[in-house]
Structure 1
């Protein structure tokens, strides 16, 4: 089973790298290929995270948000904008007003299929994740992400209420 997993992971990474290397399209399409390569790498490394071989790390900005999501003492418009930017780096872009982007359904189906195949390689996956500490680590990461979302929304509200002109 380990050999099959290693071979599959290597194939996924090589295929993603080859696709990115051959890509001569626009910058937005190149970002899509880079995202696909990252997703393929994340999917292929999932069994390593499941058995605790690959540790789940919480980014420091999310750890701080988890510790105190509503702290603003001593913050001015500039530091609020920087904190929002830092959270955007860890969480990805925030929701913005405007038309929703068109989804890539084929990519979503491929990602879901890859995750299903990889996740089915470990029998009793849920028990293995609990025993190795991977599940509690994922819960800690999820709590930090939730706190990061709460902090970013809170800081955006404070930024707006103070009528700050600094951009984030």
Structure 2
């Protein structure tokens, strides 16, 4: 879902069925969380705590892929033969997809008439709104001193030492307020 036009990791069936997308006979529905992000990207209703923010960010991550603050993926340890085979498969699927799309004459006009172009723009808008919402939620989480994923992955929440002193991990330590000096009366 990283982009409505991503051709990565598609199966052979997706490549063969590509013309159905141009005819708007086969389209991916916009997930509800992204539809809400289009309408209210900065809504915090029901997101009072770190757990709720983290749950929302995790849902967005599952649809949008990794955010920019995530560490890079581990190095590719496949052999050159394995990498070459994967690249050849990707190129072959892309060729099949392009060939099946070229069956439709005046593809751009057909996409406009069938509504496929409009649906693609709606999907792109929803994806962009989801990315904005995720960034906003991580900023809110950071402001609330939440741990990742409710905040950027590099953020380290502040630990309040008064709360955790004396071994009372569940009970806050009482805070003593200094007394105000009393004024001496003049008599």
Same fold (TM over 0.5): yes
Q: Distance in 1 between matches of 2:52 and 2:60?
A: 12
Q: Partner residue of 2:67?
A: 94
Which residues of structure 1 form unaligned runs of 5+? 1-34
- TM-score, with normalisation over the residues of structure 1? 0.67
* Between structures 1 and 2, the one with greater helix share: 1
Q: Distance in 1 between matches of 2:104 and 2:149?
A: 46
What root-mean-square deviation, in Å, do the aligned CA atoms of Structure 1 and Structure 2 show?
2.5
Q: 2:18 aligns with which of 38, 46, 60?
A: 46
- List structure 1 runs of 4+ shifted beyond 6 angstroms: none
Q: Partner residue of 1:55?
A: 27
Equivalences for residues 7-156 of structure 1 within 5 A: 36=9, 38-75=10-47, 76-95=49-68, 96-98=70-72, 102=76, 105-156=87-138
Q: 1:158 aligns with which of 128, 140, 152?
A: 140
Are the aligned partners of 1:50 and 1:125 in contact in 2 as well (CA < 8 Å)?
yes
Q: Distance in 2 between matches of 1:119 and 1:40?
A: 14
Q: Distance in 2 between matches of 1:166 and 1:149?
A: 16
Shift of 1:112: 2.8
- TM-score, with normalisation over the residues of structure 2? 0.61
Q: Partner residue of 1:17?
A: none
**Which is worse superposed, 134-143 or 110-119?**
110-119
Shift of 1:48: 0.9
Q: Report Cα offsets for 1:33-86 as digits up to 9, x if no partner.
A: xx84x4333222221111122233111111011111122244221111111111
Q: 1:99 to 1:166 in 2, by over 3 A?
A: closer
Are the aligned partners of 1:77 and 1:166 in contact in 2 as well (CA < 8 Å)?
no
How many pairs were matched up? 133
Which residues of structure 2 form unaligned runs of 5+? 1-7, 77-82, 151-187
